[in-house]
């Protein structure tokens, strides 16, 4: 097991940031830690990296207890922080070389690794650029290169795609999967459920310092009652119509807000045709219709009663 956290408690005064937090990550996984802002993801990561002292619990990384002086363990960890942490005074190449040099003493070996990292994040044309000359997306890529240049076995990424354009985001996500294919275990935190769904083999959902659900993407979705979500843009609908939809078989909830009708029903109950037939036969004007499977947001919503991005 790469990371094993048991019963972790971290308090900031009266605020409980981590409340008996448990986490187990196996070797070779891309593990997603999903939760809204302030749910305790970064605190958990800082505790795992021994950057923060905690009040209770145990943390083992690569089978050994984690502590500030666990240098052998740290040698195998790569960290990509939420905020870009690079030196404005150094060029792209010098920055990667500096951070890689904290792990790899051999200069010859380091030269190869730095070049590989530059190619990996697609910064080959910006080697001699200073960070201030880079766009937000390129800066994020540099931030990632600084964290992974030494080829760590365990990579911890704390929201690496915040404020990144879609193209750079896709590059970053593809890069993470590539690192995983090359043998790295990845702990990935985000509040973007789509990203987590896209790349993570297992996911844990956090709220208020606790893991409230964990498993694979489908395991998490099977935890909730909703199996289908139908959304229809409808204009001028009265309460009688809403009542009709509530009577359809297996419907869990019906919501009509801002001309958007949302019908959530249990797994295996396909009510799309019935809904459209009813609207047509009653001459109710409608435009876009789409049916979708539940998202992790729905999982979070059903468990906590609030949206992931609240």
- Quick check: 101 binds other proteins (CB under 8 A)? yes
- Quick check: 74 binds other proteins (CB under 8 A)? yes
- Quick check: 26 binds other proteins (CB under 8 A)? no
- Quick check: 238 binds other proteins (CB under 8 A)? no
- Quick check: 102 binds other proteins (CB under 8 A)? yes
Cβ-based nearer residue to other proteins, 99 or 245: 99
| Least Å from the CB of residue 257 to other proteins | 40
Pairing of strands 30-34, 202-207: parallel
- Quick check: 258 binds other proteins (CB under 8 A)? no
CA–CA distance, 187 with 31 (Å, rounded to integer): 5
Pair 17, 209: CB distance under 8 Å? yes
- Quick check: 163 binds other proteins (CB under 8 A)? no
First to last CA, the chain: 33
Distances (CA, A) of 210 to 16, 63, 186: 10, 23, 20
| Least Å from the CB of residue 7 to other proteins | 21
The interface region with other proteins, picked from 64-72, 160-168, 230-238, 263-271 by CB under 8 A, is: 64-72
Q: Which residues contact 150 (CB under 8 A, 6 or more apart)?
A: 78, 99, 100, 103, 104, 113
The interface region with other proteins, picked from 81-89, 185-193, 215-223, 254-262 by CB under 8 A, is: 81-89
The interface region with other proteins, picked from 22-30, 58-66, 74-82, 227-235 by CB under 8 A, is: 74-82
Site residue total, other proteins (CB under 8 A): 32
Pair 5, 58: CB distance under 8 Å? yes
**Phi, psi (degrees; rounded to nearest 5) at 220:** -65, -40
Cβ-based nearer residue to other proteins, 71 or 235: 71
- Quick check: 38 binds other proteins (CB under 8 A)? no
Query: To which H or E segment does residue 241 belong?
Result: helix 239-247
- Quick check: 86 binds other proteins (CB under 8 A)? yes
- Quick check: 184 binds other proteins (CB under 8 A)? no
Among 26, 65, 67, 85, binds other proteins (CB under 8 A): 85
- Quick check: 77 binds other proteins (CB under 8 A)? yes
| Least Å from the CB of residue 169 to other proteins | 21
| Least Å from the CB of residue 86 to other proteins | 8
Residue in the structure block whose two tokens are 């005064």: 13
CA–CA distance, 310 with 308 (Å, rounded to integer): 6
- Quick check: 129 binds other proteins (CB under 8 A)? no
* Cα angle 291, 294, 297; round to 5: 130
Among 6, 16, 57, 90, binds other proteins (CB under 8 A): 90
- Quick check: 60 binds other proteins (CB under 8 A)? no
154-186 as b/e: b if 16+ CB within 10 A:
bbbbbbbbeebeeebbebbbebbeebbeeebbb
CA–CA distance, 111 with 227 (Å, rounded to integer): 52
Q: Give the interface with other proteins as residue ranges (CB under 8 A).
A: 12, 42, 46, 49, 51-53, 68-69, 71-72, 74-75, 77, 79, 81, 83-90, 94, 98-99, 101-103, 146-147
């Amino acid at each position: 097991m790469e990371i094993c956290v048991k019963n972790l408690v971290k308090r900031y005064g009266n605020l409980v940031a981590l409340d008996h937090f448990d986490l187990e990550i196996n070797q070779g996984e891309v593990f997603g830690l999903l939760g809204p802002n302030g749910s305790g993801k970064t605190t958990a990561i800082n505790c795992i990296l021994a950057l923060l002292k905690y009040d209770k619990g145990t943390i083992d990384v690569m089978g050994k207890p984690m502590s500030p002086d666990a240098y052998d363990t740290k040698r195998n960890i790569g960290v990509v922080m939420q905020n870009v942490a690079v030196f404005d005074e150094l060029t792209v190449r010098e920055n990667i070389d500096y951070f890689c040099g904290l792990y790899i003493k051999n200069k010859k070996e380091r030269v190869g690794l730095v070049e590989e990292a530059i190619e990996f994040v697609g910064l080959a044309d910006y080697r001699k650029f200073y960070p201030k000359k880079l766009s937000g997306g390129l800066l994020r890529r540099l931030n990632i290169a600084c964290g992974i240049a030494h080829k760590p076995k365990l990579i911890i990424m704390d929201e690496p795609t915040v404020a990144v354009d879609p193209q750079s985001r896709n590059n970053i996500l593809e890069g993470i999967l590539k690192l995983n294919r090359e043998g790295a275990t990845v702990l990935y935190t985000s509040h973007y459920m789509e990203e987590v769904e896209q790349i993570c083999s297992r996911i844990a959902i956090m709220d208020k310092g606790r893991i409230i659900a964990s498993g694979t993407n489908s395991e998490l979705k099977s935890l909730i009652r909703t199996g289908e979500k139908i959304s229809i843009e409808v204009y001028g609908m009265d309460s009688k119509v809403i009542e009709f939809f509530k009577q359809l078989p297996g419907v869990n909830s019906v919501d009509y807000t801002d001309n958007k009708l949302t019908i959530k029903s249990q797994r295996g109950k396909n009510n799309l045709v019935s809904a459209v037939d009813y609207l047509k036969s009653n001459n109710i004007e409608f435009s876009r219709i789409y049916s979708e499977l539940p998202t992790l947001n729905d999982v979070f919503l059903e468990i906590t009663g609030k949206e992931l991005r609240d």
